[in-house]
């Protein structure tokens, strides 16, 4: 075995790293000694190209993108010569050589690349060295080479372009696999996700792909597709497609049942289904022609899809339906045309089977389409948040314009009751905004000049003027919609077994049908031919890969959409499964368990009225930039206290502030500052002890060498933090506080909340090491932070949760982002994840049990003991019912309600 040390890029967290680990261990013989989102060290017998191939199949990149400025290449032959040399190394990927620049992704160090270039007599310079080297060149040479040689800026190598498509013609899990394979065959596509329930697909690439190639690849696989990148247009077309599909299947169901029910009733109520006389031959011939017309109209789609699948050397659910109904009709029409070819007992016709199967399966598809339309209601609600028109402020007057025409920097008027069309900053006015559809918090938020606002929020009673800062796909709402759509198309690990079974399901079913037919031919009673036909047709019809294909994506679609309704953004479906297994949650303190902004907790004055003391303190602190000073000023303003007249103000950085007030010297500062001034604490000590016991920060006020009062300032604990921690403890989940604050303060807050373990005075770059310790102890760890300062720990944790702001960094770095600031959202996320995973398991279990029991019963295993043989008609009804059951069960998730409601922290 040889040792490989490979840099990784495109991974956001340890969840991504775990995907790489699972992929390599599932396909190669590897021993991984170190794993992080940026590096993997392993020992393996496989070649590096095999390792790279498996990692890149997940959409990640091995190696680092390197850019060089080249000198000495004068023609195309020079370029080809260097390209051939570098291409020989399997450690070099995505190579691009021109006469003046070199770009590649490699695991090799820069000096090795430079040495290889120089071995051919050329020169290569990195970004850092190229500018220094150019300065030493003659002026003419620098002028000619510097412009084209400027390499592009170095950036993380990851799939940044998402192409959304609507795909028509998919019916089961086999179709999903075919479309995924077709998309991945297109050059530049790093990853692909296909959603059967939404009839959609997403292709991920580093650069804008050739859209015609994507469409051609899907058409070559036997399906139709169109590219739709606008979320609203995509949702509209999906709904239109579902509506059209519903009408189509409803019509086919009516046609099939109108013909099939009377024929079946004839046989049930004693009518002869045998061909024994010429009148019977003629009458059943007419029925056969009517059934042929039905198969050519209502059954046309099944046969077309089956033919397309056969042409592309695959089998789908439509293959089973086409074979079953086709064999039943063909056998029956042969009995009608040439009854003498068959024994008397075998002259039974099965036209009712063909008609009823088409009718019942179409009815099942119609019910399924109606239910599918409900699974995307959460996403539809998000899309409908953005209005279609906006009010633009011009020099002459206000003008109504479409939202699509808004550009950055435009000033827009937001009237009472309006939805905000784009992201922006308030430049005039004041009003409360309802942000509940984005954050899940029902309390309106006050917005003033300078505050950021998001598209889709609703203005209450005031009028605002905003400047557009994010338009189109740049708005928070658009990013949320794209994130939700991508998560809905992803698959959790639990779905892999279903995918593996679906890949071979239809060929295996066909083989079972053939084997069952031969068994009945060799060992069955007379008429053997009839029994052969019934058994083979029933096996083909009852098998349902559709239920397997729908089991996971429908639950994921509803679950992710429900999470978005609750202000919880989920990066991919694997997060749902990870969250349901978390046993340890590590909290950052500031902004997670506390409000994140210091506030005054108490004011104690010894000899003066409280308002007079506050007036003096306000006068000094309003000239300070310290965060605690801002908290005091905000408190004074809330009490409508005006600042006293002071002079000779001094800001003693790191100690406090001082000034003159009516001939008296005023000092405001910490306990340490007052001690350095040798002031007595005797009178203020009881109040000071009370403040310190609460783990609050004291601001002491001294006037003329005597301490007059103390103001306690603290970052207040969120209103529902204690409830969240207590609920987690009851669930058996270990709670840990990981903070850089002083141990006394952290311990005091932990005791108030009931947190089990406290790790204090930790630097940001040390937090990840503590997460590793819990993981090495066998814990599944979630880290809850702000997504910026806690980034290393968030990346290391099995589940990284960004709290509160929903900022760009939070959304891009975390696996899960809470758009509201309540710690109770963690409990809601855990509850929803468990409900979703449980729903997926129910669907998969139901689909597996149905097929495990249904296929043997259809093959006739009960006949020797009970004389029972399943009718193809019943098989068709059971097949439709299995899909309907899966869809209905998935839609139960829409009834999920938040078990914990956030409190108003104001």
Active site residues: 588
- Across the beta sheet with 431-434, the strand order is 445-447, 431-434, 458-459
How many angstroms from the chain centroid is the CA of residue 556? 10
Long-range Cβ contact pairs of 692-698 (< 8 A, separation 24 or more): 694/601, 694/748, 695/744, 695/745, 695/747, 695/748, 695/749, 696/601, 696/602, 697/598, 697/628, 698/670, 698/671
- Between CA 904 and CA 906 the distance in angstroms is 6
**Which residues contact residue 715 at a Cβ distance below 8 angstroms, ignoring those fewer than 6 apart?**
590, 594, 595, 596, 597, 598, 599
Q: Cβ(615)–Cβ(603) under 8 Å?
A: no
Strand stretches in 297-394, DSSP E: 389-393
Tokens 């495109």 label which residue? 10
Indicate the helix (H) or strand (E) that contains 192.
Answer: strand 189-195
Neighbours of 147 (CB within 10 A): 9
β-pairing verdict for 584-587 and 781-785: parallel
**Which residues contact residue 392 at a Cβ distance below 8 angstroms, ignoring those fewer than 6 apart?**
398, 399, 400, 401, 406, 410, 411, 412, 413
Q: Cβ(197)–Cβ(554) under 8 Å?
A: yes
Alpha helices in 88-172 (DSSP H): 110-118, 127-135, 139-149
How many angstroms from the chain centroid is the CA of residue 687? 51
Long-range Cβ contact pairs of 312-316 (< 8 A, separation 24 or more): 312/178, 312/220, 312/221, 312/222, 314/174, 314/178, 315/174, 315/506, 315/507, 315/510, 316/171, 316/172, 316/174, 316/175, 316/506, 316/545
Q: Cβ(209)–Cβ(177) under 8 Å?
A: no
Alpha helices in 683-807 (DSSP H): 685-693, 721-730, 743-753, 764-776, 791-796
**Which residues contact residue 601 at a Cβ distance below 8 angstroms, ignoring those fewer than 6 apart?**
691, 694, 696, 712, 713, 714, 716
Q: What DSSP string describes 394-409?
A: -SSSEEEEEGGG--TT
Neighbours of 717 (CB within 10 A): 17
β-pairing verdict for 757-759 and 734-738: parallel
- Distance of CA 624 to CAs 611, 627, 685, Å? 20, 9, 26
Tokens 């998560």 label which residue? 487
Among candidate residues 62, 58, 47, the one with its CA nearest the CA of residue 9: 62
- Between CA 585 and CA 797 the distance in angstroms is 10
Q: Cβ(482)–Cβ(232) under 8 Å?
A: no
- Which residues in 613-634 are b (16+ Cβ under 10 Å) and which e? bbbbbbbbbbebebebbbbbbe
Preceding omega of 527 cis (within 30 degrees of 0):
yes
Strand stretches in 307-405, DSSP E: 389-393, 398-402
Among candidate residues 653, 648, 650, 692, the one with its CA nearest the CA of residue 671: 692
Neighbours of 845 (CB within 10 A): 11
Phi, psi of 460 (to 5 degrees): -90, -100
For the record, the structure tokens of 527 come out as 């008429």
């Amino acid at each position: 075995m040889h040792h490989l040390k490979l840099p990784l890029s495109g991974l956001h967290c340890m969840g991504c790293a775990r995907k790489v680990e699972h992929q390599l261990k599932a396909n190669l013989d590897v021993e991984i000694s170190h794993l992080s989102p940026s590096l993997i060290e392993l020992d393996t017998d496989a070649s590096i190209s095999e390792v790279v191939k498996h990692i890149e199949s997940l959409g990640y990149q091995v190696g680092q993108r390197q850019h060089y400025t080249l000198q000495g290449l004068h023609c195309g032959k020079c370029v080809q010569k260097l390209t051939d040399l570098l291409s020989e190394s399997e450690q070099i990927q995505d190579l691009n050589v021109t006469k003046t620049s070199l770009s590649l992704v490699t695991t090799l160090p820069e000096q090795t690349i430079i040495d290889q270039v120089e071995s051919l007599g050329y020169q290569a310079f990195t970004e850092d060295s190229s500018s220094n080297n150019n300065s030493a060149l003659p002026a003419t040479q620098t002028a000619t080479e510097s412009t084209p040689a400027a390499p592009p800026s170095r950036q993380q190598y990851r799939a940044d372009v998402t192409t959304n498509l609507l795909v028509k013609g998919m019916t089961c899990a086999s179709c999903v696999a075919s479309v995924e394979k077709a998309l991945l065959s297109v050059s530049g596509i790093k990853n692909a996700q296909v959603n059967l329930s939404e009839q959609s697909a997403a292709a991920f690439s580093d650069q804008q792909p050739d859209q015609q190639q994507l469409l051609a690849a899907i058409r070559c696989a036997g399906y139709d597709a169109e590219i739709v990148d606008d979320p609203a247009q995509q949702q509209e077309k999906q709904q239109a497609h579902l509506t059209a599909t519903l009408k189509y299947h409803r019509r086919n169901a009516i046609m099939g049942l109108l013909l099939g029910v009377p024929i079946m009733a004839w046989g049930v109520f004693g009518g002869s289904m045998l061909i024994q006389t010429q009148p019977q031959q003629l009458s059943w011939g007419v029925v056969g022609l009517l059934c042929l017309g039905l198969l050519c109209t209502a059954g046309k789609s099944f046969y077309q899809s089956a033919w397309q699948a056969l042409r592309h050397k695959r089998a789908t659910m439509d293959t089973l339906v086409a074979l079953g109904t086709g064999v039943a009709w063909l056998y029956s029409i042969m009995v009608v045309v040439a009854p003498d070819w068959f024994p008397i007992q075998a002259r039974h016709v099965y036209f009712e089977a063909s008609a009823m199967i088409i009718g019942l399966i179409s009815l099942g598809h119609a019910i399924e389409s109606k239910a599918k339309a409900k699974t995307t209601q959460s996403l539809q609600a998000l899309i409908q948040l953005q209005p279609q028109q906006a009010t633009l402020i011009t020099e002459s007057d206000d003008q109504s314009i479409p939202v699509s025409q808004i550009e950055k920097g435009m000033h827009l008027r937001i009237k009472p009751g309006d939805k905000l069309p784009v992201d922006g900053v308030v430049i005039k006015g004041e009003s409360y905004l309802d942000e509940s559809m984005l954050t899940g918090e029902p309390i309106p938020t006050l917005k003033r000049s300078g505050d950021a606002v998001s598209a889709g929020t609703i203005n209450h009673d005031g009028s605002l003027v905003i400047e557009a800062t994010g338009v189109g796909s740049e708005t928070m709402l658009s990013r949320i919609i794209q994130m939700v759509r991508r998560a809905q198309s992803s698959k959790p690990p639990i779905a892999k077994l279903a995918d593996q079974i679906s890949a071979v399901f239809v060929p295996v079913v066909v083989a079972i049908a053939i084997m069952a037919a031969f068994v009945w031919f060799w060992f069955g009673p007379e008429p053997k031919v009839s029994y052969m036909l019934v058994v083979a047709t029933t096996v083909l019809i009852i098998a349902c890969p559709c239920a397997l294909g729908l089991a996971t994506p429908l639950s994921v679609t509803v679950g992710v959409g429900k999470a978005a309704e609750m202000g919880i953004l989920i990066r991919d479906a694997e997060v749902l499964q990870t969250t349901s297994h978390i046993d340890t949650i590590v909290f950052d303190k500031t902004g997670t368990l506390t409000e994140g902004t210091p506030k005054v907790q108490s004011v104690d004055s010894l000899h003066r009225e409280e308002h007079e003391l506050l007036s003096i303190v306000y006068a000094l602190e309003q000239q300070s930039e310290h965060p605690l000073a801002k908290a005091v000023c905000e408190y004074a303003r809330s009490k409508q206290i005006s600042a006293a007249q002071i002079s000779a103000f001094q800001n003693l950085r790191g100690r406090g502030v001082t000034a003159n007030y009516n001939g008296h010297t005023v000092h405001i500062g910490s306990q340490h500052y007052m001690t350095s001034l040798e002031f007595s604490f005797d009178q203020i000590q009881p109040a000071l002890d009370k403040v310190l016991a609460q783990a609050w920060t004291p601001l002491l006020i001294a006037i003329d060498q005597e301490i007059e009062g103390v103001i306690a300032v603290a970052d207040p604990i969120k209103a529902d933090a204690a409830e969240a921690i207590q609920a987690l403890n009851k669930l058996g989940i270990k709670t840990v506080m990981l903070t850089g604050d002083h141990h006394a303060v952290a311990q005091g807050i932990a005791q108030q909340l009931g947190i089990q373990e406290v790790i204090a005075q930790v630097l940001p770059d040390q937090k990840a090491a503590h997460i590793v310790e819990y993981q090495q102890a066998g814990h599944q760890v979630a880290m809850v932070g702000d997504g910026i300062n806690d980034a290393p720990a968030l990346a290391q944790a099995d589940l990284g949760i960004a709290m509160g702001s929903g900022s760009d960094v939070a959304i891009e770095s975390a696996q899960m982002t809470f758009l509201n600031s309540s710690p109770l959202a963690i409990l809601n996320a855990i509850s929803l994840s468990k409900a979703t995973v449980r729903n997926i398991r129910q669907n998969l279990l139901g689909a597996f049990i149905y097929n495990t029991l249904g296929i043997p019963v259809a093959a006739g295993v009960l006949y020797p003991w009970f004389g029972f043989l399943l009718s193809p008609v019943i098989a068709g009804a059971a097949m439709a019912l299995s899909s309907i059951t899966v869809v209905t069960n998935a839609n139960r998730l829409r009834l999920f309600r938040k078990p914990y409601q956030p409190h108003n922290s104001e």
